[in-house]
Amino acid sequence: MAGPTGEKNWSKKYPSCGGLLQSPIDLHSDILQYDASLTPLQFQGYNVSAEKLLNLTNDGHSVRLNLNSDMYIQGLQPHQYRAEQLHLHWGNRNDPHGSEHTVSGKHFAAELHIVHYNSDLYPDFSTASDKSEGLAVLAVLIEIGSINPSYDKIFSHLQRVKYKGQQALIPGFNIEELLPESPGEYYRYEGSLTTPPCYPTVLWTVFRNPVQISQDQLLALETALYFTHMDDPSPKEMVNNFRQVQKFDERLVYISFRQGIILSVTLAGVLGISIVLAVSIWLFRRKKSISSFLAVLTLDTAWRVHVLRSDLDLGYPRAFA
């Protein structure tokens, strides 16, 4: 997002955008810490009946699906967070690397955010958005692969909301189908909204495993929408609607999975065992070589003594080679 309204200028109007605890971030091994208390989340009310219509809108930043008030997540102790909306971030057809979060510097094709607010402490999203412990966002990394029928339940309606301000009602579906396999494996950190006003009030859950959508599905997302209104004389395609990675500010990212840690320990253990084994074999061979040498030396000495005795018995003079 470049130009006078681009992210480099956000902080002029929205001071929080230039402050601390900003998102997104790069998730890399140096900042990860395993936390055994991070248990799988429970998704309540996510399976929305097709008879219940959901509002899909082009809000001028992304395509947004407003969610039912009876959808919430449990497991973000000690509070319950109620769903507000979901939206996506993506790149463009020539550079399909539009995820906001990166993993060890790697961008994914796109990213889905499901936004919730703390319904235990605050009456609605607007009230919660700038408050402590106000928001919680689930982030799904998206890569190119097989076609994903669940995402088509949104993408098939994009042409109905091409321009800013346009809205459409679409049938409800199981929102949980948009999540990856093994949703119990995730990154957790404290950050911010990734669009103005960038309030640093978000508890982020970034799922470790990406979901796949097809190349055609991604292309539909990259080419269907506009930042501008239908009657704007200079229409602007909605592309590259992702924020750049932000400074980490000495935060920690907690992870619910231990595979990387176990792998490191296992590799270290295997390496250690290999070194011990190699040294043991070397010592064994060395010991064996010394033993063989001593055995040969003993036999040679015994033979020489035997020959000497024989020579003496026969009256030959003493001689050694």
What gap in Å lies between CA 138 and CA 210, rounded to an integer?
12
Which range of residues forms the domain containing residue 265? Answer: 258-321
Residue 205 lies in a domain: yes
Residue 221 lies in a domain: yes
Distances in whole angstroms, Cα of residue 278 to Cα of each of 237, 266, 283, 290: 62, 18, 9, 18
End-to-end alpha-carbon separation of the chain, Å? 92
Let me know whether 245 and 268 are in one domain. no
Residue 61 annotated among the catalytic residues of the structure: yes
Strand 32-34 and strand 110-118: the pairing is unpaired
pLDDT digit string (tens) for 46-89?
999 999 999 999 999 999 999 998 999 999 989 999 999 999 99
Which SS3 state, helix, strand or coil, does residue 201 take?
coil
Over its C-alpha atoms, the chain yields an Rg (Å, rounded) of 33
Residue 2 lies in a domain: no
Residue at a domain's end among 222, 238, 257: 257
Exposed/middle/buried for 256, CB within 10 Å: 0-12, 13-18, 19+? Answer: buried
Residue 1 lies in a domain: no
Catalytic residue among 61, 79, 89, 97: 61
Residue pair 92/111 in contact (Cβ under 8 Å)? The answer is no
249 vs 47, more confident = 47
pLDDT level of residue 249 (50, 70, 90 thresholds): confident
261 vs 211, more confident = 211
Residue 168 lies in a domain: yes
> What's the number of domains the chain is made of?
2
pLDDT digit string (tens) for 126-179?
999 999 999 999 999 999 999 999 999 999 999 999 999 999 999 999 999 999
Q: What pLDDT score was predicted for residue 268?
A: 42
pTM of the model as a whole: 0.81
Residue 207 lies in a domain: yes
What gap in Å lies between CA 24 and CA 248, rounded to an integer?
9
Q: What pLDDT score was predicted for residue 251?
A: 87
Let me know whether 216 and 122 are in one domain. yes
pLDDT digit string (tens) for 88-119?
999 999 999 999 999 999 999 999 999 999 99
What is the 8-class DSSP label of residue 78? T
pLDDT digit string (tens) for 256-304?
998 654 444 444 444 444 544 454 544 456 555 545 544 544 445 443 4
CATH number at residue 171: 3.10.200.10
pLDDT digit string (tens) for 227-248?
999 999 999 999 999 999 999 8
Q: What pLDDT score was predicted for residue 77?
A: 84
What gap in Å lies between CA 310 and CA 90, rounded to an integer?
98
Q: What pLDDT score was predicted for residue 289?
A: 52
Which helix (H) or strand (E) segment holds residue 309: the answer is helix 259-314
Residue (of 17, 16, 113) closest to 59 by Cα position: 113
Let me know whether 124 and 205 are in one domain. yes
Let me know whether 203 and 95 are in one domain. yes
